[in-house]
Amino acid sequence: MDAYFAKTSTVYFSLAAEVDRAKLVKPFAIILKKENALVRNYTDGAKPPVSYRGMVTYPYKLGIDELTSGEYVLVKLENLN
């Protein structure tokens, strides 16, 4: 089962989100939570047989205390002009 990743030390994943274009013209921040939310699944006969799924929940609002707690990472700030 682990032979699929045996020849590499790093497995890259892509992150994506669908956002309404109207929201992208307003100021926004991309924030990630430092939490391992991925679960490894193995399905015999599937192609590929190994898959990862996961989800992290965020509060509706994050204050300065939460952002400076070390639990979150600020990835990008946009449209602050």
Written as one letter, the residue type at 48 is: P
Q: What are 24-53's pLDDT values in tens digits?
A: 889 988 888 888 888 888 999 888 888 888
Question: How far is residue 4's CA from residue 52's CA, in Å, rounded to a whole number?
Answer: 13
The tokens describing 59, both together, are 């509060």
Q: What are 62-74's pLDDT values in tens digits?
A: 888 988 999 999 8
pLDDT-based confidence at 3, cuts 50/70/90?
low
Contact 38, 52 (CB under 8 A): yes
Q: What are 10-21's pLDDT values in tens digits?
A: 777 777 778 888
Q: Give 31's contacts (C-beta < 8 A, 6+ positions apart).
A: 58, 62, 67, 72, 73, 74, 75
Domain that includes residue 47, residue range: 2-78
Number of domains within the chain: 1
Contact 66, 14 (CB under 8 A): no
